Copies of this chain bind each other. A is one copy, B any other.
Amino acid sequence: MDIKILRLLAANGRMSWADIGAELGLSGPAAAERVKKLEQLGLVRGYAALLDPGELGLGVTAYIAVRLDRPAHRAAFLKRIKREEAVVECHHMAGDDDYWLKVRVPDLRALEILVSDTLKSIEGVLGTRTSIVMSTVKESATPPLDHLEQG
């Protein structure tokens, strides 16, 4: 039953308790309790507005695979990455490439600067490989919930 609440929140952000209740045939207070429990359990990390990158002048999305000299410079590298706003995601990968960065920049010139100046000047970075996104078919802020459905 709570999966329905998660779907509602994921699709609409913060809603009024009454509206949530109406969707599930619950009263307002009952809905409030459920949502608060979900927040306390840590299932809900927060709320956000979804901004449109294109409209913000961020025409270029790319992935950058970064090989890192291990493991001495790791901490400094990660600290630097967290500060860099253009880096939207950073994953530690199994396999050849240590880290994959998802970045958003205004144009290819900015991407060039990010890779050639910023990233390659970080100590421990042995090399990078950039893959450019031509178009995005799907980009969901919500993790899948269907695996919970059989409950």
A residues at B contact (CB < 8 Å): 6, 9-14, 41-53, 55-58, 61, 63, 78, 81-82, 85-95, 99-100, 104-106, 110, 131-148
Contacts and interface: CB of A to CB of B under 8 A. Distances in A.
A94 B132 contact: yes
4 tightest Cβ-Cβ pairs between the two chains A and B: A13-B47, A9-B49, A85-B144, A90-B137
Given A88-B143, A138-B81, A143-B88, A52 B47 contact: no
A105 to B, nearest CB: 8
Nearest to A86: B144
B50 A45 contact: yes
Given A13-B46, A50-B48, A63 B100 contact: yes
